Amino acid sequence: MNFMFLRRLGPDPHANGRKTVALNNCPDLFELESGDFAIIGIDITSAARAKLPSTASCGPDERIVMIPRNLLVEAKSDIPDTV
């Protein structure tokens, strides 16, 4: 798979000495050069798979990740409005 990170969406999770849930590691959100997005979060696939709505599924090559609410809210202004 070939991809390039274009930019971080939202502020740096450690900016201004900010602490994150994982402290050393951190959830993060990036836009890829292709226009797709990459998310660093906590893998909750095992616990969440059985709780998905009947209209959703998680394939063997996919993971369900959890990110803190503030990560997405603070990145909102960086997320494009159009496809």
Residue pair 58/15 in contact by the 8 Å Cβ criterion: no
Say which amino acid occupies 67.
I
Say which amino acid occupies 81.
D
Reported pTM: 0.80
Q: What is the pLDDT of residues 19-56, one digit of tens each?
A: 655 556 678 999 999 999 999 999 999 999 999 999 99
What is the side-by-side strand order in the sheet with 28-32?
5-8, 28-32, 37-40
